[in-house]
A = this chain, B = another copy of it.
Amino acid sequence: MIIEIDFNSDEALYLQLCNQIILGIATSQFREGDALPSVRQLADTIGINMHTVNKAYTVLKQEGYVKVDRRRGAVIALDMERLQTLEELKRELRVILAKSSCKNIPVSEIHGLIDEIYSEYT
């Protein structure tokens, strides 16, 4: 999978890494059991520090997207803890939907967007 990092973004590198990998899982470019590149390997190919990749992997582990196998490194392994995700989802939706409402974006357009994006995931 191609992981794209925007060095001009104001988003932290390790967060961009997390999000790219989560997007990769959602789009089935990564599947359960697949091993991620090692922290040193990925750091090298992207051209960033090992610890930045390690931080991303640590966050992904805490949020239940990967598990760590001493032999194979970081491996995609999904935990199905809905509650935490649902709370995060609500919190983020409240703000972004408030912005949409202020800018007069109709709810039907939001629903359309959701379907459009979700159809690319499995």
Q: Please report A residues at the B interface, Cβ cutoff 8 Å.
A: 19, 22-23, 25-27, 65, 78, 80-82, 85-86, 88-90, 92-105, 107, 110-111, 113-115, 117-118, 121-122
Interface CB pairs A-B, < 8 A, 24? A19-B95, A19-B98, A22-B95, A22-B99, A23-B94, A23-B95, A26-B98, A26-B99, A26-B101, A78-B102, A78-B103, A85-B100, A85-B105, A88-B96, A88-B99, A89-B100, A89-B105, A89-B113, A93-B113, A93-B114, A97-B117, A97-B118, A107-B114, A110-B118
* Interface class of chain A by DSSP: helix
Given A93-B114, A110-B114, A111-B111, residue A86 in contact with residue B105 (CB < 8 A):
yes
